[in-house]
Each structure stands twice: as structure tokens, then as C-alpha cells.
Structure 1
Amino acid sequence: MEKEAKKEAFRKYLESSGVLDALTKVLVALYEQNDKPSSAIGFIQHRLGGPTLPEYEKLQAEMSDLQIKYKELLAEHQETCRELEELRNSQSVAASKEMIDKESPMDEL
């Protein structure tokens, strides 16, 4: 009995969220096709707004390329930050040394 109640609740959920209507429309459109597509799944995915398999593969390749580029740029950024920190430290040391050198002649007087 509980199983039937769960099924009914799920069916109501699908109906209220518009899933049943969307699937019905897509299946009717597939049924009404004079020339049936070679891939029914591809047809359904495309009609529901998803990418086709070639589009999906292209997006996957693009994402992979972008991840590689991101890692390269991140490494370059980290190296630039390290170099900047080194420059700041060397300037700080140079400024400190300059201050010490300026103060030394006064100490002698």
C-alpha cells in the first residue's frame, strides 16, 4: 500500500512540475515525424533543450581546453605574485639599508 502511495505522489509531482506535459509533447512530436530520426534519444534531448551529441562533445573539448588554459594562467599568476613579493622584499631591504647608512654618519658626530 505504501509503495502505491509513493508512486501516486511521484506521479502528481511529475504532473505538477510540468514534466509529464513536456515529455508527452516531445513523444508526440517524435511520433508525428514522417522520417524518424536515427537517434530517438538525440531527438528527445534536442527537443527538451539539451545539446546534441556533437554539440556536447564540442562543449566537453572546449571545457577541457579552458581548464588547461586556466591552470596555465593560475601558475603564471602565482609566479608573478612570487616575483612581486621578492621585489617588495628587496626594496624593503634596500630602504632599510639606506636608512641605516644615513643614520651612521650622524652617530659618528
Structure 2
Amino acid sequence: MAHYRTPDPKREHFRRYLEKAGVVDSLTSVLVSLYEQPDKPSNALEFVKQHLNSGGQAITDTEALQQEVIDLRQRCAQLADENKDLKSRLQRYEPEDGATAD
């Protein structure tokens, strides 16, 4: 004979929290995706991690974007230095009182 357990209030609260946060739907979606894979990956945990990471964005995409941010920051610093140099060179050719020469 099966024993019926009354739901633990803490457990029910936590379950509702996970459902409200979308965790249950995300996990279900990833597990369904794994189930539907014709060739099962050798590492199921890695599959789940990759598909849960940033809304399904691949780790390699994240690394590529991080590298792009680093490159763009370096380029921005180079352009700021070049801008500073050009401004100082321009100041040598402009009159001090701001009037243009005729």
C-alpha cells in the first residue's frame, strides 16, 4: 500500500519559486533537447551546462565576445592617444587668441 506524504511547506514554496523564476521550464527544455538528440553526447552534464549558459549561448561565443571587448578597448585607448596627440599638434598651428589669420 502506498503512503501519501503531505507536502512540506518549505518544499512547496521552493518549487513555486523555481517555477516562477523559469528554472523548471529551462531545465525541462534542455532535458527535452538532450532526449531528442539522435546521437547522445558523451558528457550529458556538459551538454546541459552549454545549453543553460546565457540562454543557450555557446561558451565559445562568450569567449569570442570577451576577446572582442578586449580588442575594442585596446583600439579605443589607441584612438584616444592619437586624438590627444593630434589636438596638441593642432594647438601649435592655431592662434592663441582664437582669431583666424587672414
Fold similarity call, TM over 0.5 = yes
Q: For residue 70 of structure 1, what is the aligned residue in structure 2?
A: 76
Task: Give the structure with the higher percent helix.
Answer: 1
> Which among 30, 46, 53 is matched to residue 59 of structure 2?
53
Amino acid at match of 1:73: L
1:26-41 equivalent positions in 2, closer than 5 A: 26-41=30-45
> TM-score scaled to structure 1, two decimals?
0.56
Amino acid at match of 2:61: E
Give the length in aligned residue pairs: 90
Structure 2 residues without counterparts, runs of 5 or longer:
1-8
- What CA distance in whole angstroms lies between the structure 1 residues aligned with 2:98 and 2:16? 75
Larger Rg: 1
Structure 1 residues without counterparts, runs of 5 or longer:
96-109
- Percent identity between matched residues is 43
- What CA distance in whole angstroms lies between the structure 2 residues aligned with 1:15 and 1:37? 27
Give deviations 1:43-66, integer Å, cap 9, x for gaps. 333366333233233222222211
Q: What root-mean-square deviation, in Å, do the aligned CA atoms of Structure 1 and Structure 2 show?
A: 3.2
Q: For residue 17 of structure 1, what is the aligned residue in structure 2?
A: 21
